[in-house]
Amino acid sequence: MMNAFRPTPQDFYPLIKQDEADVVVRPSLSYWQNAWRRLKRNRRALISLYIVVFLLLFSFAAPQVFEFDSQSQDLTQLSKTPGLERQSLVVDTAPWEGRFAAHPATDGPLQAVTDLQVIDVAHTEAVRLAWAPVAGASYYRVYRHILRPSGDKDLGLPLGETEYVDQVSFEDRLKLDTVKYYYSVQAVSKMGEVSPYTTVAVQPRHAISVRDAVARGLLEPEQLQQRIGTEVTLKRHLLGTDYLGRDMLARLVYGGQTSLLIGIVAPLLFVALGIVYGGLAGYLGGRIDELMMRFADFVIALPFLLFMILFRVAMGIGPGESGIVPMLLALVLLSWPAVARLVRGQMLQIREQPFVDAARLMGAGSGYLIFRHMLPNVMGVVLVSLTFSIPSAIFTEAFLSFIGMGVAPPTPSWGSMCNDGVKSFMSHPHELLFPAFMISITVLAFNLLGDGLRDALDARMKD
Amino acid sequence: MTAFILKRLLSGVITIWFIATATFVGMHAVPGNPLLNAKAASPEVQKNLQARYGLDKPVTTQYVIFLNNMLHGEFGISFTQKNRRVNDIIAEHFPVSATLGVLALVIAAAGGIIWGAVTALYRDKWPDATIMLFVVVAVSVPSFVFAMLGQLGILKLNELLGFSLLPVAGWGSFGHMLVPALVLGLGTMAYLTRLMRSSMLEVTSADFIRTARAKGVSTLRIFFKHQLRNAILPVVTVLGPAIAAITTGGFVVELVFAIPGLGRYFVQAVQQLDYTVIMGTTVFYGAFLVIMVLAVDIVYGFIDPRIRVGKSGG
Amino acid sequence: MYKKRSFRLCSMAQLGFLLIFSGLLLTASQVSAVALDREARRITYAMSSEPPDLNTTTSTDQVSHMVLDHVMEGLLTYDSENNLAPGVAERWKLREDGATFWLRKGLRWSDGRPLLAKDFVFAWRKVLEPATASEYAFILFPLVNAQAINEGKLPIEALGIKAVDDYTLEVRFAKPCPYFLGLTAFSTLFPINEAFYNSRNGRYAADAGDLLYNGPFKMTEWVHGASLKMEKNPHYWNREAIWLNEVDVPYITDDGNARLNLLRDNHIALANNLGEQVLGGALQQRMQIKSFLDGGMFYLEFNHRPDRVTRNRNLRKAIQAVFSAEDYVYKVLGTPGTYPAYTLFPRWIKGEKQMFKREHPPRKPEINLEKARAYLVAAKKELGLEKFPPLSLLADDGSGGNRTAEFMQTLLKQTLDLDVKVDVQIFKQRLAKMTTGDFDMVLSGWGPDYDDPLTYGDLFMSVNLNNRGRYSSDTYDHWVSVAQSTVDVKQRMQAFGKLQDILFEDVVIIPMYERGKVYVQHPKLKRVIRRAVGGDPNFNYAVIKE
Amino acid sequence: MNQPLRKTDREKALEVSNLHVEFDTYGGVVQAVRGVSFDVCRGETLAIVGESGCGKSVTMMSVMGLIPMPPGRIVAGTAKLNGREMLGLSTAALNKIRGAEIGMIFQDPMSALNPTMKVGEQIAETLMIHRGLSHREGLRKAVELLDRTKMPEAQKRTRQYPFEFSGGMLQRAVIAMSLACNPSVLIADEPTTALDVTIQNQVLELMREIQREEEMAIVLITHDLGVVARMADKVAVMYAGQVVESGEVDDIFYRSAHPYTLGLRSAMPSPEMHTDQKLSAIAGSPPDLFAPPAGCGYCSRCPDARNICETQEAGLIQMGENHYSRCWLQHAEANVDIAELYQHIHQLHGGG
């Protein structure tokens, strides 16, 4: 292969090397620079890092820039799934007296209700029904279904009974939605016999009462009467609302503040405590070390969740308090020993290493030794364990809030939102799925970031 | 070995004492009166109740009595179920939690080891990617979501089949345990899968595997005789904490699936400030965990010859 | 090649897993419970919790009472129409100063022992004995010396009850007790056999075998926290009237969703106490949904202690004028069958001739923001305050307490600009805080102890220990004492009407809702009795239709 | 032309030619081995020398089929064991050969044995696989094998775990294991690096002894020229994935042609050295094999580099009967007085 090439004498003049030839090809990087470079190469970890940054911005920076109102309740838009129409009819709030009719003679077999009709426009503030009186009826029962009834065992929700003997009307205000309803009315005799049912179908329009419209600033208080019957556009809820008509997105933002605060601050605190404790034990060594670690072992042996619950109850949450502090405290009190153990183990290893001896020989003081030599070498491991502590802290918060032992209302947290949402999982799954998704994505991001960091720092997580 | 076990037992006893004391202190710091009920009782009745539960004595005396009773394995009478001893409650509900926990642990361990091994074998191919995706999801999704979905799943399955293949909730037959145990073990299984995978990969690139291959041992034999046993070691060490996580983490599953386990009972007891049950349960769980960790250490000793034969380092 | 091998290995592992799994499934498929079994005359039911205490002298909760009402019977009982009817006592005579009960002859406990008048004497004395520490002891306080005995001032033998002979029971009242007959059907007053009680060594009622039964059923199996079983009691005097052979309770769960799912899967015949949120599924399944009022009345209670701003009536008035019970019930609670409440007395209370609510209609507060603000200004002036300090709103974490507290907080902020600190505690801590007065407002409720309006009416009497807001009014106390001491129905109902007015005028409380329990019942299951007082539901007379 | 070590009088046990191996990594493709050729005959010892990362281990692992694929990839070349092609064989076919016809000893005996398996079992395993011995027979044979490696109390030792052994004993056990089936070729990848000096000698002696008895070919991978001098018949010096010089052991030690070999020699202490003489290290570091240089890989470190070295890769130039060097300085056109040059380099490295 090299036969074709015929070198000339010039080729054999001594090579004059440029300076850079002697320079090592790769720039020398510090431990952290190197780690950062490796982390950047790990696509999953990098994306996770972006997600974490996004979540932090989402929860902490976004409310500074945009206005999120997680408190105000919109009773006209309860448990709305995202992206529903927002046009709403303005309706009067004056109570309805109902309709009354003289009763025909009260004997003979009980007939089915006739002439069942919807009075006025049916809307989500009220659906008003009226019917013709039935001979022998003592009162009437009203049902509401979302399907066309298939028999007298399938009339739907029992809404109630009429209050007065001559009353032949009913006003339904029970959590009305803009779906098609089938109202059924049965007459009931004094003896408790029940007549066949009569059904009417109706689809209410979305409505807002004048009172609410003014309260929400959708109408000027001046021209109220003229505006009844017109339409207004309701506030937009990007991710829908919860069971009290509060904006889901705003709740997620503020819930994120709680969850991330607990999830990040608690690990920071207990890692700090762990470093001090473990570092001290590892540095002092001997009998003190043994005693300190024995105590740490005790704390590790406490059943974690049981004690979380116990501490949460023991510390108590006063009126108006969020309950974040007790939970942070409980987390810190129970979680530090693992870090302490880890740090101590590392310290013991590092203490034996030649560079520490060398520094000692050169007359370095203890403080200098600890802060200049020992701690920086522990930081990698600590950082990784910190990253992995965050998802478990977030899980702990979610778990405790889920069983009602977490933060106190009205403070939202993703866990307590799940707890609220789980009850209506079948009817409004978004109330559970959104916060659950936020928890999952956060935990996922921190886990993957932790993996990436561990690889990047090459930290051995073995204790 | 005997000295090692004895030493561990002794420290276990001290640990249990510590747990008991911490529980006692925590419990007595709880504000509120466990003897209050929806219907107010007269001061006389209150006094009678206090006398009945020994709450009229000074705290130090109560502590001594508590420790003394604990020594005799006696935790007193429940505050809410006035006719039942805490021992009876534990004896009745713990086996349920334990059965569920053991099944969950078996599922978690078996699944974790199998899936972990499979992912390591198929490193960076689609089975690895698929399983790791599931693992990541299982680690990141809170258990209560899985519990809800699990129950919904049974319901849909039964609807689809037209008969009840699995019960939706409750306790009794094996079918009752299956899905709850799966849900309960899922997180741990995911964790163990990850652990097993990295452990397998570490072992795969270990020198002794290369040695084995260099001497012509078949892939299958390497897998079973050389890789598995070594890769399982780190998995075994975390089984102790895993048992802890599973047995005490059963609340949610027990709540959702209406399983009469001790976890659910504990949550109820806390909500009702049932002092004796809370203290009894906590101490019992603490002792249980201490014993489990000890047991795992001993088992580990049997698997890892370095510990069995070698010095009894702790 | 390497690849191929490992593939085989992988599939082996999968196969093994599959085998184990299918094995599990096979054993799993033998699911036991069926909702209704007409052949065996058996129904299956899921309770919300384990009965905490089946000892009638100390039992206080509805779940225990539900079981007790099946397995035991008092002097009087409820018939299939839910009316008071002869039980252990064949006939009786109620007087102003006491009552006489004539017991059926030949009655037997479930182990064959005769049931005699002395069994009541023993039981009632036991209730009042200080060592028993019964929280329901007060229910017997109408009896001569009862309170003194309970306070340890007199021996239990001094109690105004006497077994004249084996079949005659003589009761003496300290003051007239017009509702006493209803009490005798209540489980605290059920009989206990002394010899058996003493033979259990303090484990009376701890297990199925530690109780003697005299009701339509007897408990044959009780696995704590998991299941229990009640079978027909062959010794029951009225066994012909009982159609069912067995009530099986294999599930105990307080998760409404789980109960509904069990019903959907035909494992239970009645799913009780369902939340609004699970009903969508029930509707989709075309289930027959029913509701009934369980007697629970819920209200916002104020702290009337002198050091609290909520002692100011105008402040309370202001809050009354912004709280719309209808908005709250229809939109926030949203449970069908639950009614907005305007009074402390439930709508099913009977009056003199017709329903109480008809004879004494409650007044509905007018929702008026202008007026509310005026009240608030007046309150500020009276209290000499520039701005109100934050009010603490106490609630417990059960039954939507969180939700209601959050609603109230925002409502008061949005309408009256009142700052509210929500204080959600576990139930017992809420009670403790209520008892010590550590609150301004509390979300509270009351369920009836016996079948008489007095169980509600005497609640805000100044000496009532359950009046934890310490409301104190001489006129209120006066009308309570009228209701307590007269046997004239009309007078009593008027007294209750007055109490209702005072509660409204003085804004002692702001009634919020009257709880309805929603349930789904198997269409073939008939004659299940739902009750506000005592144990609920009751299957004593239930039948399974073809 | 590419068959530099030719010794026709003896049967060739292992013959590798033009081997190219690449690895896919995150940073790109690493050309770890770039056209390596050598051969070794029965009873002969070939030492492959070079600094870490030069590709010597990868070469032998590729031959054994032990590099993980992916990321590894054999791009070109052949490797014949007793005339039979090894590259591209299936795992099953390789498994029949590995351990039976070709054995391998690794650098770190501490980690080369399965920590959870008794040593005897591990030795017996080879025999059970290749010789079809029963478990019991295998164990008996294992005792014999350990005996042969002069292991005291061999019987007891077979029932112990690796962690109960010292380093030297472990390496003996590994040797016993790799020799169990009398392979014709033994690859020893730095077999003594992890051991202390006295043990080193024992192990090397043992290998020699067995080689003599079994007429076995040994490929000795090392960076220790001392070991080379003791053991090798032939030497191949590798640098940056290539063989830069090869020849009889004397050629390398006394007639080294390549500046890199000279550098290596200067870095090795020798008894003749004066005490005041400094050991010299070769300045700089090997090139990045992500992007191998166009010219000579040693160019940037070579004290006597020429213009051409930077741009053109040198071919192998025959220096003696079996002695080849890959350096432009030996090119006919270079017009370099080799002796003078050596003197110069020598001074540069150590003399000066």
Q: Count A/B contacts: CB-CB distance under 8 Å.
A: 110
The pLDDT confidence band at residue C171, using thresholds 50, 70 and 90, is very high
D17, β-bridge pairs: D78
Max CA-CA distance within chain D?
A: 68
Looking at the complex, does the CB of residue D328 fall below 8 Å from at least one CB of chain A? yes
Task: State which amino acid sits at residue B272.
Answer: Q
Chain B nearest C-alpha distance from D279 (Å): 33
Looking at the complex, does the CB of residue B45 fall below 8 Å from at least one CB of chain C? yes
pLDDT at site D334? 66
What is the spatial distance between Cα C21 and Cα B103, in angstroms, rounded to a whole number?
12
pLDDT at site B223? 81
SS3 C392: strand
Looking at the complex, does the CB of residue C392 fall below 8 Å from at least one CB of chain A? yes
B84, β-bridge pairs: none
A120, β-bridge pairs: none
Mean per-residue pLDDT, D169-174: 81
Class of domain A88-233: mainly beta
Which of C251, C398, C433 is facing B258, going by the closest CB pair? C251
Looking at the complex, does the CB of residue C409 fall below 8 Å from at least one CB of chain A? yes
pLDDT at site A458? 64
The pLDDT confidence band at residue C315, using thresholds 50, 70 and 90, is very high
Kindly report, as residue ranges, where domains of CATH 2.60.40.10 are found in chain A: 88-233
pLDDT in tens, D290-347: 677 777 777 777 777 777 777 777 777 777 778 888 877 777 666 666 666 666 666 6
pLDDT at site D279? 57
Looking at the complex, does the CB of residue B291 fall below 8 Å from at least one CB of chain C? no
Chain B nearest C-alpha distance from D87 (Å): 15
* Percent of residues in chain A assigned helix, strand, coil, to nearest 5: 50, 15, 35
Find residues 164-223 of chain B whose CB sits inside 8 Å of chain C.
164-176, 178, 218-220, 223
Q: What is the 3-state secondary structure (H, E, C) of C417-461?
A: CCCEEEEEECHHHHHHHHHHCCCCEEEEEECCCCCCCHHHHHHHC
pLDDT in tens, A321-336: 888 888 898 889 888 9
Among candidate residues A339, A342, A377, the one with its CA nearest the CA of residue A356: A377
Looking at the complex, does the CB of residue A291 fall below 8 Å from at least one CB of chain B? no
Mean per-residue pLDDT, C149-167: 91
CATH of segment(s) A33-72+243-458? 1.10.3720.10
SS3 B258: coil
User: Is pLDDT larger for residue A1 or for residue C362?
Assistant: C362
Structure tokens at D23: 């690895």
pLDDT of C81 strictly over 60: yes
pLDDT of C517 strictly over 80: yes
Chain D nearest C-alpha distance from B310 (Å): 8
**Nearest 5°: CA angle at B244, between B243 and B247?**
80
pLDDT at site C164? 93
Chain B nearest C-alpha distance from C253 (Å): 5
Spatial neighbors of C15 by CB under 8 A, at least 6 apart, are none
Q: Provide the H-helix boundaries in C106-252.
A: 117-128, 146-150, 180-184, 194-199
Average pLDDT value over all residues in chain C: 87
What is the spatial distance between Cα D131 and Cα C197, in angstroms, rounded to a whole number?
81
pLDDT of C31 strictly over 50: no
For the ranges B24-33, B94-103, B209-218, C276-285, the one whose mean pLDDT is highest: B94-103
Residues of D within 8 A of B221 (CB-CB) are 129
Question: Residues of A near C (CB-CB distance < 8 A)?
Answer: 71-73, 75, 78, 144-147, 150, 153-160, 173-175, 215, 243-244, 313, 316-321, 404, 408-410, 420, 423-428
pLDDT in tens, D89-105: 788 888 888 877 888 88
Find, in chain B, the residue whose alpha carbon is nearest to that of A444: B140
Structure tokens at A38: 């490796």
Would you say A24 and D285 are in contact if contact means Cβ atoms under 8 Å apart?
Answer: yes
Kindly report, as residue ranges, where domains of CATH 1.10.3720.10 are found in chain A: 33-72+243-458
What is the spatial distance between Cα A430 and Cα A424, in angstroms, rounded to a whole number?
9
Find the Cα–Cα–Cα–Cα dihedral C63, C68, C71, C74, rounded to 10°: -150
The pLDDT confidence band at residue A200, using thresholds 50, 70 and 90, is very high
pLDDT in tens, A109-160: 788 888 898 988 888 888 999 998 888 888 899 999 989 998 888 888 888 8
How large is the ipTM? Answer: 0.72
pLDDT of B63 strictly over 80: yes
Indicate which of D57, D89, D108, D114 best probes the interface with B, i.e. most B CBs within 10 Å of its own CB.
D114
pLDDT at site A105? 61
Count of beta carbons in the 10 Å neighbourhood of residue C408: 25
User: Is pLDDT larger for residue A139 or for residue A94?
Assistant: A139
Spatial neighbors of A67 by CB under 8 A, at least 6 apart, are none
Looking at the complex, does the CB of residue D285 fall below 8 Å from at least one CB of chain A? yes
**Is residue D299 left, alpha or beta, with left meaning phi > 0 and alpha meaning psi from -120 to 50?**
alpha
Task: State which amino acid sits at residue A421.
Answer: G
pLDDT in tens, C199-224: 988 788 888 999 999 999 999 998 87
pLDDT at site C11? 47
Residues of A within 8 A of D297 (CB-CB) are none
Give the H/E segment covering residue C219. strand C217-223
Average pLDDT value over all residues in chain A: 81
Among candidate residues D119, D124, D126, the one with its CA nearest the CA of residue B216: D126
Subunit contact A215:C414, Cβ cutoff 8 A: yes
pLDDT at site B252? 81
pLDDT at site A30? 67
Give the H/E segment covering residue B128. helix B126-140
Looking at the complex, does the CB of residue B84 fall below 8 Å from at least one CB of chain C? yes
pLDDT of D200 strictly over 50: yes
What is the spatial distance between Cα C214 and Cα C72, in angstroms, rounded to a whole number?
5
Indicate which of D66, D69, D89, D91 best probes the interface with C, i.e. most C CBs within 10 Å of its own CB.
D91
**Stretch among A215-219, C101-105, C162-166, D219-223 having the lowest mean pLDDT:** A215-219
pLDDT in tens, B124-175: 788 888 888 888 888 888 888 888 888 888 878 877 887 767 777 777 777 7
Where are the domains positioned within chain D? 102-180, 255-348
**Nearest 5°: CA angle at B138, between B133 and B142?**
140
Spatial neighbors of C8 by CB under 8 A, at least 6 apart, are none
Instruction: Write the DSSP assignment of C348-389 as a string of letters.
Output: T-B-SSSBHHHHSPPPPPP--HHHHHHHHHHHHHHHT-SSPP
Which of A174, A409, A423 is facing C422, going by the closest CB pair? A409
Give the H/E segment covering residue D317. strand D317-318
Q: Count C/D contacts: CB-CB distance under 8 Å.
A: 5
The pLDDT confidence band at residue D278, using thresholds 50, 70 and 90, is low
Find residues 317-376 of chain C whose CB sits inside 8 Å of chain A.
326-327, 330-332, 334, 336-337, 339
D49, β-bridge pairs: D222, D237
pLDDT at site A310? 84
pLDDT at site C6? 40
Looking at the complex, does the CB of residue D254 fall below 8 Å from at least one CB of chain A? no
Structure tokens at A249: 């997105």
Would you say C493 and C359 are in contact if contact means Cβ atoms under 8 Å apart?
Answer: yes
pLDDT of A1 strictly over 50: no
pLDDT in tens, B6-60: 887 888 888 888 888 988 888 888 777 777 776 777 777 777 778 777 788 888 8
Would you say A70 and A258 are in contact if contact means Cβ atoms under 8 Å apart?
Answer: no
Residues of C within 8 A of D90 (CB-CB) are 1
Residues of C within 8 A of A423 (CB-CB) are 257, 275, 277-278
pLDDT in tens, C324-339: 998 899 888 888 888 9
pLDDT at site D337? 66
The pLDDT confidence band at residue C1, using thresholds 50, 70 and 90, is very low
pLDDT of D3 strictly over 70: no
Would you say B272 and C429 are in contact if contact means Cβ atoms under 8 Å apart?
Answer: no
